[in-house]
């Protein structure tokens, strides 16, 4: 009898040990099993283009205006005229346009597009904007590093609309404007996938660059050449399969999102933006 109990106890212990072993194996397997990532990351740190595929800003752009030139005199006249806009709705819009952190940056062209751009309803479009932003910004670096042009606030001693950026901007050349290259890149891409809103998008893309004049952080020649590099970046992007794929999916997202009614907050924000954009900028070409 005692022997049978002992054998039975042994079988139970073996069963428990086996169960524990299987459970531990399952847990270990689960711990080492790759966790499924979001198909569309909220922050993609890479652009679409490799370094050698980027537009060559040193080849595409002439040097910035030289001391004593008529071009520099014009830049300075425009910069001086922009100081009158401090404290106005256009100045406040320029301050908002200065933000390039995602997801906030994705909303800059939402009103012109007529669709709220966010991670929930337009994730591929978010990725498209962030990755193309990195390419457009990278396209300006060589010229910025070569010329190291001082920015308007460094010459005129007047405030800028984003004082928190002061230290970083002092170390970053003014020519050409990276913000402008980004805004124009976005405007061209979005006008291609939402042609019914093309004029509004292009106008907003232009105004995004002009915000750098209002902000007292870029000269007019910086902004003009920034648009040049934005256009060159879009041309380069069209040879990239990943960009073309995201472009197709983003178009579908926009069509789907357009069926939704805008929120009251979005409508109020767009009305305020529209009011600010009606401001005539003095001397702007």
3-state SS, residue 278: coil
| 222 is annotated as an active-site residue | yes
Residue 265 has a pLDDT of 66
What structural domains and CATH numbers belong to the chain?
54-277 (1.20.144.10)
Residue 284 has a pLDDT of 87
Candidate list 90, 218, 227, 246, residue with the active-site label: 218
| 179 is annotated as an active-site residue | yes
The model carries a pTM of 0.84
pLDDT tens digits along 76-113: 999 999 999 999 999 999 999 999 999 999 999 999 99
CA distance 56 to 51: 10
How would you class 248 by CB atoms within 10 Å of its CB: exposed for 0-12, middle for 13-18, buried for 19 or more?
exposed
Candidate list 75, 97, 135, 222, residue with the active-site label: 222
Candidate list 127, 149, 151, 179, residue with the active-site label: 179
CA distance 248 to 245: 5
| 218 is annotated as an active-site residue | yes
pLDDT, averaged in runs of 10, over the chain (285 residues): 40 38 34 32 72 97 97 97 97 97 94 93 95 98 98 97 96 97 98 96 98 98 98 98 96 90 79 95 86
């Amino acid at each position: 009898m005692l022997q049978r109990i002992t054998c039975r106890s042994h079988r139970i212990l073996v069963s428990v040990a086996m169960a524990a072993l299987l459970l531990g194996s399952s847990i270990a397997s689960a711990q080492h099993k790759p966790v499924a990532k979001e198909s569309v990351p909220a922050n993609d740190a890479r652009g679409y283009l490799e370094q050698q595929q980027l537009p060559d800003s040193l080849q595409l752009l002439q040097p910035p205006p030289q001391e004593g030139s008529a071009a520099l005199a014009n830049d300075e006249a425009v910069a001086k005229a922009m100081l009158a806009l401090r404290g106005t709705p256009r100045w406040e819009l320029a301050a908002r346009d200065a933000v390039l952190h995602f997801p906030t940056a994705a909303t800059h062209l939402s009103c012109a597009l007529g669709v709220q751009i966010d991670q929930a309803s337009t994730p591929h479009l978010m990725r498209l904007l962030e990755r193309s932003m990195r390419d457009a910004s990278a396209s300006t670096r060589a010229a910025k590093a070569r010329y190291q042009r001082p920015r308007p606030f460094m010459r005129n001693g007047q405030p800028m609309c984003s004082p928190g950026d002061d230290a970083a901007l002092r170390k970053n050349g003014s020519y050409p404007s990276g913000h402008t290259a980004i805004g124009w890149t976005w405007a061209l891409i979005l006008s291609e996938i939402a042609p019914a809103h093309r004029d509004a998008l292009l106008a907003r893309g232009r105004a995004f660059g002009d915000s750098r004049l209002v902000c007292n952080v870029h000269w007019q020649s910086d902004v003009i050449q920034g648009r040049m590099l934005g256009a060159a970046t879009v041309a380069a992007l069209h040879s990239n399969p990943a960009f073309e794929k995201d472009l197709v999916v983003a178009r579908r997202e926009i069509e789907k999102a357009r069926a939704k009614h805008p929120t009251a907050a979005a409508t109020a924000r767009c009305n305020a933006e529209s009011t600010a954009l009606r401001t005539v900028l003095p001397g702007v070409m």
